[in-house]
Amino acid sequence: MKGLRTAGVLWLVAAAFAVAITLSFRTDPVEWVVTMAVGVVVAILGLWLVARSSALAVSASNVVSVVWTVLYAVLTLQQFGDLAAWTTDVVLIAIGAAAGVVAYRATARAKL
């Protein structure tokens, strides 16, 4: 399905962006470990959706999308005083949410 591949690519973009931002700017050890771990999970999910999408992959995408949004919303609130960090986290929320919505919509369309 084209939509699931698009979602996979969005997850890969989100992972690359998140890992790059973490390596470049995050200094808090807990934030660093959590964002790197989530970035790796999201990269694996993206590859899964691109290479061999399934109902389980879509369900995982839905769950990861919620976790991703909550994680980066918390980081946004913690870094609200720093405009660059805040903006970066909001962009990451948008990419992750878009990936989740695209995967969900592609599956919903396939069921019709």
Say what percent of the chain tops pLDDT 90: 79
Rg (the chain; Cα; Å): 14
pLDDT at 101 over 80: yes
Alpha-carbon distance values, 2 to 13, 65, 77, 98, 111 (Å): 17, 19, 35, 15, 14
Q: What's the whole-number mean pLDDT along residues 66-80? A: 94
* Model confidence at 10: pLDDT above 70: yes
Q: Tell me the percentage of the chain whose pLDDT exceeds 70.
A: 96
d(CA 12, CA 74): 22
Banded model confidence at residue 112, pLDDT cuts 50, 70, 90: very low
Tell me the Ramachandran region of residue 96: left when phi exceeds 0, alpha when psi lies from -120 to 50, beta otherwise.
alpha
Does 111 score more than 80 pLDDT?
no
